[in-house]
Amino acid sequence: MLYAGFMSAALPPFPQPQEPVDKPQLLEVGSTADESCLRADAARNRARLLEAAARLVAEHGAAGVTMEAVAAEAGVGKGTVFRRFGDRTGLLTALLDHSARGLQADFLGGPPPLGPGAPPVDRLRAFGVAVLYRSAEQLDLQLAAQPDPTRRYAHPSVRALHTHVTVLLRQILPDADCDLLAQSLLAYLDPALINHLTRQCGMPMERLEKGWLDLVERVTRTEA
């Protein structure tokens, strides 16, 4: 299951973990709160900068993406890039937004078992597999875009994943502390851990996939 790509549009707010989710809606992964108010020309400039950054990633990897290089590739001043994205992490995070939105669209409104219509435990299994392979496809970019620890878990895209897993767990284990249990499950899907297991330990993705399914089975006390 592939989730590669890039986006530049902001998304609507998402429900807090305690709120019921009655109908699918995309969760917010935009990098700036005022992005919906950008003038049309500013939005086009932002898209042009992201296209330039995407070309640099394709040609040189995430390490080749600097504010200076993106400015040169797009033919603008370096200050323009800083004003639009704040810093390199903000720029790299913006490159991941489209992929995050695509994943959200799949698990909120796509076909089962990832989307609605399947039992919640089947959706949880499919969710982890989708995130594993999405992370593996974009591993260098995801590692480079990780915010510092004080901001990592508050980032909208991370909160969106936590909300989804929490909602599924509440349907499976209504008596559990699903907020904390969701954090434990998501730790298995952390890009830094995937990097360690696949690149440093040489584990194949098939083993990580099987490990996720086993983890879900043990946590939820269900059988595949």
Give 40-89 pLDDT, tens digit per residue: 777 788 888 888 888 888 888 888 889 999 999 988 889 989 988 898 88
Query: Pseudo-torsion of CA 67, 68, 72, 77, nearest 10°?
Result: 80
Sign of torsion over alpha carbons 105, 110, 114, 115: positive
* pLDDT given at position 1: 42
pLDDT greater at residue 66 or residue 201? 201
Q: Kindly state the average pLDDT of the residues 96-119.
A: 90
What are the CA-CA distances from residue 99 to residues 5, 75, 131, 137, 217 (Å)? Answer: 5, 26, 10, 11, 27
Q: Percent of the chain beyond pLDDT 70?
A: 82
* pLDDT given at position 37: 53
pLDDT greater at residue 163 or residue 89? 163
* pLDDT given at position 105: 92
Place of tokens 């699918």: 24
When the pLDDT of each residue in the chain is averaged and rounded to a whole number, the result is 83
Which residue in 49, 99, 104 sits closest to 74, CA to CA?
Answer: 49
pLDDT of 12 over the 80 cut: no
* pLDDT given at position 202: 97
